[in-house]
């Protein structure tokens, strides 16, 4: 770790992803009892790997990219977490994302620890050939710490099933046998699972439905605003629309559209898929991106990147229910403001856990070479998500704490019990 990285590790900015995570851990300490003596385990990643990713570009020049793989905690099982390709990826961000994966897996009681990876690159500037080279070189560089029983990557921002196929193939070639279980989120015919693509968005809907029911919010006619219209945001929006809600605002990397009568979701999803974004869709009014936060709605789904709900935006949000489809979209100060205003926030570490849950199903199916139907996948996913949400809601009611702190209380207790029972080696 460089000097600057070490400083951000010890004294991060309070609004940075890692600073946000540390603040969330501090808030849960009073509810951990004797396990609090192990709390520093939660604040220190087990392992952080920084790698150079050199490739020969199509024009014959040599380019170098910086890559990361962080394993935050593996007390409960092998590391699990996505790989993102983005020009703003940093070590501190990947550390935070790996830590949130630790909490997320424990919150839904999966036998995993948390990990995360990334490359600081804009994949849109690469040809398909260059993208494959970057992926394969990165996989080779982190190959010494990943594996079906040690750390299992998955898709994240700007990565997909094709990237996972290249990662699986590279790892398999280097180990001498086909290892389908080394990654999840693969194409179906390479050991992928049915239902995986829509799993995260489906989890957002399921937890949102459960929260709405408990707070007396009828989904029929409810107004929904969605930031981020990828696999997570679009699927969640589609399911809410099918339940009778109206999706009245959508924002993605191309801009913001509003439609007070509610969007035709199948048409908007098809347009976005074909055009690479929502802008230009005929049945929507274009507004400034900042105006998205002023839209009158009942349910807000931030499903883009971290740090989107700031204190200023939290004061303007009209929603009664916020469903965190993205990782870390709400900074701690904004969390407090929303709580004071009576806005219920379903935190990322339970709300968007549908993806890692179906990734777990894929991993299990790969080992057994026996695959389930999509109906079976969805039924199992719904059962796990509803059960986890019930347990967390009860913990919140018991201690009169927010759902975020309740989720951390449930998850951190499971993580630290495993740490305590395993002991320290040597």
Which among 207, 272, 217 has a CA at the least distance from the CA of 239?
207
User: How far apart are alpha carbons 258 and 89 in whole angstroms?
Assistant: 30
List, edge to edge, every strand of the sheet that includes 47-56.
47-56, 62-73, 113-120, 79-86, 151-155
User: In this structure, what are the phi and psi dihedrals at residue 395, rounded to the nearest 5 degrees?
Assistant: -65, -40
User: How far apart are alpha carbons 327 and 24 in whole angstroms?
Assistant: 13
Distances in Å between the Cα of 252 and the Cα atoms of 89, 198, 255, 278, 315 are 19, 18, 6, 7, 22
Catalytic residue (one of 104, 116, 133, 186): 116
The residues facing 66 across adjacent strands are 52
Where are the extended beta strands (E) located within 74-218? 79-86, 113-120, 151-155
The residues facing 54 across adjacent strands are 64
* Annotation marks residue 133 as catalytic: no
The residues facing 86 across adjacent strands are 120
User: How far apart are alpha carbons 31 and 165 in whole angstroms?
Assistant: 42
Tokens read off for 311: 């204190």
User: How far apart are alpha carbons 279 and 285 in whole angstroms?
Assistant: 10
Query: Between vectors from CA 195 to CA 281 and to CA 80, what angle results, nearest 5°?
Result: 105
Under 8 Å between Cβ of 22 and 96: no
User: How far apart are alpha carbons 247 and 263 in whole angstroms?
Assistant: 6
Q: Is the peptide bond before 426 cis (omega within 30 degrees of 0)?
A: yes
User: In this structure, what are the phi and psi dihedrals at residue 196, rounded to the nearest 5 degrees?
Assistant: -70, -40
Enumerate the active-site residues.
Answer: 116
């Amino acid at each position: 770790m460089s000097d600057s990285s070490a400083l951000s590790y010890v004294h991060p900015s309070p609004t940075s992803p890692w600073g946000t995570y540390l603040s969330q851990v501090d808030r849960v300490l009073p509810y951990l009892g004797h396990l609090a003596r192990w709390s520093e385990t939660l604040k220190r990643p087990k392992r952080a790997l920084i790698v150079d990713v050199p490739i020969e570009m199509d024009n014959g020049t040599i380019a170098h990219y910086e890559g990361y793989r962080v394993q935050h905690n593996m007390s409960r099982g092998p590391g699990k977490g996505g790989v993102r390709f983005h020009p703003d990826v940093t070590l501190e961000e990947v550390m935070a994302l790996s830590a949130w994966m630790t909490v997320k897996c424990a919150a839904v009681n999966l036998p995993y620890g948390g990990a995360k990876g990334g490359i600081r690159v804009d994949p849109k500037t690469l040809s398909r050939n260059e993208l494959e080279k970057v992926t394969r070189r990165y996989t080779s560089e982190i190959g010494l710490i990943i594996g079906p029983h040690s750390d299992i990557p998955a898709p994240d921002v700007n990565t997909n099933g094709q990237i996972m196929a290249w990662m699986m193939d590279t790892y398999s070639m280097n180990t001498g046998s086909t290892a389908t279980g080394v990654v999840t989120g693969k194409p179906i015919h390479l050991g992928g699972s049915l239902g995986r693509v829509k799993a995260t968005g489906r989890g957002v809907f399921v937890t949102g439905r459960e929260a709405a029911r408990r707070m007396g919010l009828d989904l029929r006619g409810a107004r929904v605003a969605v930031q981020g219209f990828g696999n997570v945001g679009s699927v969640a929006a589609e399911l809410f629309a099918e339940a009778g809600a109206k999706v009245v605002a959508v924002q993605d990397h191309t801009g913001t559209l509003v439609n007070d009568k509610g969007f035709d979701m199948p048409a908007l999803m098809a347009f976005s898929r074909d055009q690479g974004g929502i802008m230009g869709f005929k049945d929507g009014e274009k507004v400034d991106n900042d105006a998205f936060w002023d839209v009158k709605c009942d349910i807000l789904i931030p499903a883009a990147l971290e740090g989107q709900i700031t204190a200023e935006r939290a004061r303007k949000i009209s929603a009664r229910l916020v469903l965190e489809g993205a990782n870390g979209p709400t900074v701690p100060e904004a969390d407090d403001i929303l709580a004071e205003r009576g806005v219920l926030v379903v935190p990322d570490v339970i709300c968007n856990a549908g993806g890692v849950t179906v990734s777990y199903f894929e991993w299990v199916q790969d080992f057994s070479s026996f695959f389930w139907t999509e109906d079976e996948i969805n039924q199992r996913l719904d059962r796990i998500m509803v059960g986890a949400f019930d347990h967390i809601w009860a913990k919140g009611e018991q201690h009169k704490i927010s759902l975020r702190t309740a989720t951390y209380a449930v998850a951190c207790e499971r993580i630290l019990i495993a740490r305590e029972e395993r002991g320290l080696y040597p």
